[in-house]
Structure 1
Amino acid sequence: MSDLHGGSLDQNPPNADRHITEGGSDWAWAVFAVMLLSTLGMVGWSYTRPRGTRFFHNIATIILAVSTISYFSMASDLGATPVLAEFSRGNTGTRQIWFVRYIQWFINFPLLLVILLFSTGLSLSDILTTAFFAWIVVVCGLCGALVASSYKWGYFVFGVLALFYIWGSLLGHGPRTTFNAGQGVRTGYVRGSGFVAFITLLYPIAWGCSEGGNVISPTGEMIWYGILDLILGPVFLYYFVFGLRNVDYGAFGFHSGKYTDGPYGGVAGPNMTGAGPGTGGVVAGGHGAARV
């Protein structure tokens, strides 16, 4: 085990032979700072929007807040467990496996798909099914990471197959639906879904080099995943939400859960059918009843 000095690794000593270094902890603290500032920025941005038009901002806030807590844990060298590596590198036997990262993905990955697919005309059942397959990807990744034998690669295959289903929804079904919010939203969705599909392709590669094959060090793993999380977190979310800033929420059919608020904070928007007390607006494009 390498020499430890001050900071997180001194307060919370690593529990595995192959673990992150002080540099890895410092990188995680940097990612935590970006996530925290991004969360606060998204919260402030959402309050500049009228009530009933904060759906995408609120989902983005949840994703960023969860990432903030996750990286606080990892930077503090908490939320990891030692697992015997299938392929030993040097004299190391166990490797740090960050289960807190999988908790982050378990919450965030389905929400990321929801924020994308709700801009399309996919039915609510299709969106929820796609989100379910996101859970399969994450759970299979965690199970595989915790398995010491070669059976871990069986979970890896199941996770990749679930990713194929997700890519099919993002790149196949999504673009072919009716975009009630207009051609501009369709164009933005096609770009965004292609970007998300490409970045999610890099996650299983990172898994195979880190938790799976034990090729790169836990510090290298922290840097690799951190870059991907920053791209799919603050970078993508701010880009996607900013692209919807001028879109009429009435076209989506979103409606505040509080009747007196109305879809625009009490002002009826175009393309929005009024609803009586106790009812929510009907989501356009086949989503069914939804509240924001």
Structure 2
Amino acid sequence: MSPLASLFERGNEVLNINNADGADFHITTHGSDWLWSVFSIFALVTLLVLGFSFTKPKNQRTFLHVIALGLIALSYQYFTLASNLGWAPVHAEFNHVTTSDQSKTPGMRQIFYARWVSYFVAFPTFFLSFAVLVGETWSNTIAIIICEELTVVSLLIGTLIHSTYKWGYYTFGLAGFFLVVYYLVFSYRVAAQSQDKSVATHSFAIIGGAIVLLMLYPIAWALSEGGNVIQPDSEAVFYGILDIVFFILIGTFYQIFVSRSIDFVGEGVSGFDYRVFTSHGPRSVPAVAYPSTKEEELPTPPAQSRPSEATAHTAEPTSADVEQQV
């Protein structure tokens, strides 16, 4: 039997190499196969975006490189998850999912903290690239990224907590989500209205899709890591579909499609040396006068007339003046 045939016959042996000891509820070989498929999709799209960026002039690649950064983070995530790494066993709060040989009641659930670490990098790239399309300001872009990071960090911490206090962090995460919705509706949408009609229409569609999909992430968390309602394999499918639709279909392909009608150089978004998130053109940099390397003769200031010492003080009376006074 050839080595290649032996490889296919052997199949996915991830769980034999990186076992799930300590977890009662963990992914199976089917879940790992799905995660490898999602990894392949993200890796392929990452290479396509990077390759497409080389067809653009160097000063027009910032937009595509920002998108590629998020895709790289997600490729890293799914390679880790498919390898059955980046997880910790956490005692579930609810006993909705059970096994015949679980060590505790409720049992220990496999929690992939690597997922939320990658989201910490991936989500900001979406809001950053979308800000370029709608001409959003730096301040609002940073604000919405901070709000989204609040959601990601809160849900990450909540996954590692056994007690009901995890729902307190879930509440913090929902607060961050609603703030993100606020900025998308009242900031990004307003900024999009000032763009070309075609760009504005597509931007409104991106905003609507982003809100719906972002709302599904806390729901997925509540059904899996938080509530222990669905198995880890189902959790992998839920998050995988969400990530493909949000980061690839909307965050990559749709945004690149919309960007075709945008003059990045004319709008000053060709590089980070410019005002990336405004549509008022490149930032005007005031000229700075640097000293010449050669010594230059400085003009001699005009001589100022100064009273002499004799006239500056009261002159002493002469003998003639004394006689006249007498």
Q: TM bucket by the smaller chain?
A: 0.7 to 0.9
The alignment status of 1:70 with 2:77, answered yes or no, reads yes
* Mapped contact 2:91–2:109 kept (Cα < 8 A): yes
Q: Aligned residue pairs: how many?
A: 264
Could you give the per-residue CA deviations for residues 99-137 of structure 1, whole angstroms, max 9, x where no partner exists?
A: 110111000111111111232243211110110111110
The residue type paired with residue 204 of structure 2 is V
Could you give the per-residue CA deviations for residues 188-247 of structure 1, whole angstroms, max 9, x where no partner exists?
A: 111111111111111111110000100000010001000001111221211211221231
Partner of residue 199, structure 2: 185
* 1:224-243 correspondence runs (5 A): 224-236=238-250, 237-243=252-258
Partner SS, residue 144 of structure 2: helix
Could you give the per-residue CA deviations for residues 60-103 of structure 1, whole angstroms, max 9, x where no partner exists?
A: 11111111111011001011110010012324411011011011
Find 2:264's aligned residue among 249, 254, 277: 249
Partner of residue 15, structure 2: 9
Q: Structure 2 stretches of 5 or more lacking a match?
A: 1-10, 285-326
Scaled by the length of structure 2, the TM-score of the pair is 0.76
Q: Structure 1 stretches of 5 or more lacking a match?
A: 258-279
Cα gap change, 1:178 to 1:227, in 2 (>3 Å): closer
Identity of aligned residues (%): 34
Cα gap change, 1:61 to 1:138, in 2 (>3 Å): same
Cα gap change, 1:20 to 1:185, in 2 (>3 Å): same
Cα gap change, 1:194 to 1:6, in 2 (>3 Å): closer
User: Could you tell me how far apart the structure 2 residues matched to 1:114 and 1:6 are?
Assistant: 37
User: Could you tell me how far apart the structure 2 residues matched to 1:110 and 1:256 are?
Assistant: 18
**Which 10-residue stretch deviates more, 16-25 or 240-249?**
240-249
What is the RMSD computed on CA atoms of the aligned residues? 2.1
Partner SS, residue 177 of structure 1: helix
**Which 10-residue stretch deviates more, 164-173 or 248-257?**
248-257
User: Could you tell me how far apart the structure 1 residues matched to 2:236 and 2:283 are?
Assistant: 40
Partner of residue 59, structure 2: 52
User: Could you tell me how far apart the structure 1 residues matched to 2:168 and 2:31 are?
Assistant: 29
Find 2:274's aligned residue among 256, 275, 281: 281
* Mapped contact 1:171–1:190 kept (Cα < 8 A): no
Larger Cα-atom Rg: 2
The residue type paired with residue 33 of structure 1 is S
* 1:1-292 correspondence runs (5 A): 7-15=13-21, 16-88=23-95, 89-91=97-99, 92=102, 93-177=107-191, 181-236=195-250, 237-256=252-271, 280-283=273-276, 284-285=278-279
Partner SS, residue 247 of structure 1: coil
The residue type paired with residue 32 of structure 2 is S
User: Could you tell me how far apart the structure 2 residues matched to 1:288 and 1:143 are?
Assistant: 41
Scaled by the length of structure 1, the TM-score of the pair is 0.85
Partner SS, residue 82 of structure 1: strand
